[in-house]
Structure formats: C-alpha cells, structure tokens
Amino acid sequence: MIEAAQLSDQLRTYRTRCPHITRRTTAAGPRARVRTKAVLITPTGTGTGTGRAGAEAMASGAARLCPLIAEAARQRLRLAFTVRMPKSGFTLASGSRAGSPGIRRDVIQRADHTEERSYGSATTGGFDAVEFAQRADAAGGDVAAAVTQWLLETGRIHPGAHITHLEIRTWRSR
C-alpha cells in the first residue's frame, strides 16, 4: 500500500519532470473531473464497486474491468452496467420499456449522436456477477465482447454495433 507521503512525493517529482503537462480544465476554467480506473472491491469493504472503461480502454476489450467482475463473482454480488454507443447501434427506441425495464426513461441525447443506456439496477435485482464472470472468461477476458454478446442475444443492439464506453456497478443484494 502506498503511503500518502510517498504519493505526494511522487506527484511532486512528476510535476517537476513534466512541467508542460497540466490538468484538464472545463470551458469555464476550473479543473475538470477525471474518471478513474476500476475501483476494486475489497473483502473487508462494503461489497460495492464501480469500474469504467472509455474509448481507449474499450479498444483493448475493457480488460481492466475483469478483476472487478471476478471479485464480484467470488463474493456473489449483483451487477449492472451502462453502455454508451451510437444511437444507430440500438435496435429499440430510446426509453423503450423492452430495452431496459425498470430503468429511468430519460435517455441522455448527446451532441456526438451517442446514447447511454443502463441495464440492471438494485430495483430490478440486476444480474448475477457469476454469469457475467463466466461470459468474460469465455470471451478470453474481453469484458466488452461479453457485454456485446449479451446485448446481441437479447436483441438490444444490431450486429456490428460498437460500444464506446462501458460502466460496471456491483452491490450486495439485501
């Protein structure tokens, strides 16, 4: 485990070696929020975890989400995910009850013609993490391929559709 003092020393060293690199800012000026890598579940933790994979991580199959799914399966947790992809990739209209039952209907329309859709929630019970761990294993650790396969099997996306972002959430059922 890295101590806080070690981490701040590492950051100071990084800043002196790379002064030309600065944090990303928003159009208004303040520092932008930066999404982090997968937060793994700890055995002594709360039993929840979240992991995100953006465009670059998706190119490698979102493999960094595998440990999150594997640990969730080991602890018999529930799982939900949100996918972002071009609107043309989805087979069902935005907000369709058949597309994502029990999930909010106000699908966020984006300027880049993509949509985010959620599948599974605490309200609907989510999915068994063991099943998705088996799917990811069958896909050779490619979480993106496992999620894509599930979406194809359930008729939610067109063949050849490309997921641009993926978020996995896990929790302990009550």
Name the pLDDT band for 14 (thresholds 50, 70, 90).
low
Q: Which residues pair with 86 in a beta bridge?
A: 114
Domain boundaries, the chain: 33-171
- pLDDT for 23 equals 60
Residues 67 and 173 sit within 8 Å (Cβ to Cβ): no
Higher pLDDT, 141 or 57: 141
Mean pLDDT, residues 58-74 taken together: 82
User: Alpha-carbon distance 59 to 102, whole Å?
Assistant: 30
Average pLDDT of the chain, as a whole number:
76
Confidence (pTM) = 0.68
Q: What is the DSSP string of 68-108?
A: HHHHHHHTT-EEEEEEEEEGGGBSSPTT-TTTSTTS-S-PP
Two tokens, residue 115: 């949509």
Of residues 156 and 25, more confidence is placed in 156
Greater confidence, 130 or 17? Answer: 130
33-55 pLDDT, tens per residue?
655 554 555 444 556 777 778 77
Region 63-88: mean pLDDT is 88
